[in-house]
Homo-oligomer: A and B are copies of this chain.
């Protein structure tokens, strides 16, 4: 990637791309996006929820993106949209310096095997290594220092940031975004014990990522033992996430940072797993399940809804007293039942 420089757009350009109603000067030139508080006259701001309305009257933004119901309070030019948070997402990408300037070309220092199939306008960064039989779709960007193992296929318009590792025999869909340090296709954790020690089970499956998958920094998705590990379309995976072998994740599911999913578990579609959630192996989690941060899931979930475990932080002195009682909890429950019975008999 070349040096970032943010593009200039007119307010009319932005309105057209968003399908928004423009009220104001369509020729106004904008070079960036900022919060209501920080935006200057060459920037566009937005009101994504009511908690920011208080900043609207005093904004110095060149224009504001908002819901029509807040139009009357807007002191500057505006774009009206029914889903202004979605509009914010769309505008943010118009001003992304990375997306704006694909430089194209294969760097002289990249090591690319002879039989790699390379699409149109592909960019391969310095010191990247692409093994034999790899297929790269149109407009794929492979960052500096990336490694793509033999026979792996990467769909059109996918972006691999610097120092990503994709092992052999992996299939990645279109428009993937893989962040630095993530590893796709390392071996799953499989060993047989002979009574004395471990014998490795070769991990002969691959990893299949659907379209529009994003994987955060330093996350890992292990390859399957025999069949593949499968990540659906539009699955969003944050940083420091671990997905073990033969896990399946349904379309549109999002996993926050530090989530860990053990082997062969199947997560449904449209699930949301909070940061640090752990899910045991060989479970089935149905569609539409949300799990709050740092919860442990040890049983399958067959009903959509919100699930939690654990307890929140408290003063250490208070916690010590309560935590020690946790070890007596069964005893407490039994003693309570005994007292109740005595009361009934008395």
A interface with B by C-beta (< 8 Å): 1-4, 32-35, 38, 83, 85-86, 88-90, 92-93, 95-99, 107, 109, 111, 113, 125-127, 129, 131-133, 143-145, 147, 149-151, 161-163, 165, 167-169, 177, 179-183, 186-187, 189-194, 196-204, 212, 214, 216-220, 222, 225-227, 234, 236, 238-240, 242, 244, 251-252, 254, 256-258, 260, 262, 275-276, 278, 280, 290-299, 301, 305-330, 332-333, 335-336, 339-340, 342-343
Contacts and interface: CB of A to CB of B under 8 A. Distances in A.
A156 B243 CA distance: 30
16 contacts: A4-B169, A33-B204, A35-B227, A88-B192, A93-B200, A109-B111, A129-B145, A161-B186, A163-B183, A181-B183, A189-B216, A276-B296, A291-B313, A296-B311, A312-B323, A326-B329
A298 B313 contact: yes
B177 A218 contact: no
Contacts of A260: 240, 257-258, 275-276
Nearest to A333: B325
Contacts of A132: 2-3
Contacts of A280: 275, 293
Instruction: Count identical subunits in the complex.
Output: 3
Contacts of A254: 191, 198
A318 B313 contact: no
A92 B276 contact: no
Contacts of A113: 3
A131 B322 contact: no
Nearest to A187: B179
Nearest to A45: B226
A262 B252 contact: no
A290 B258 CA distance: 21
A319 B325 contact: no
B202 A3 contact: no
A257 B240 contact: no
Contacts of A321: 329-330
Contacts of A217: 165, 183, 186, 220, 222
A120 to B, nearest CB: 23
Contacts of A167: 161-162, 180
Contacts of A276: 260, 278, 296
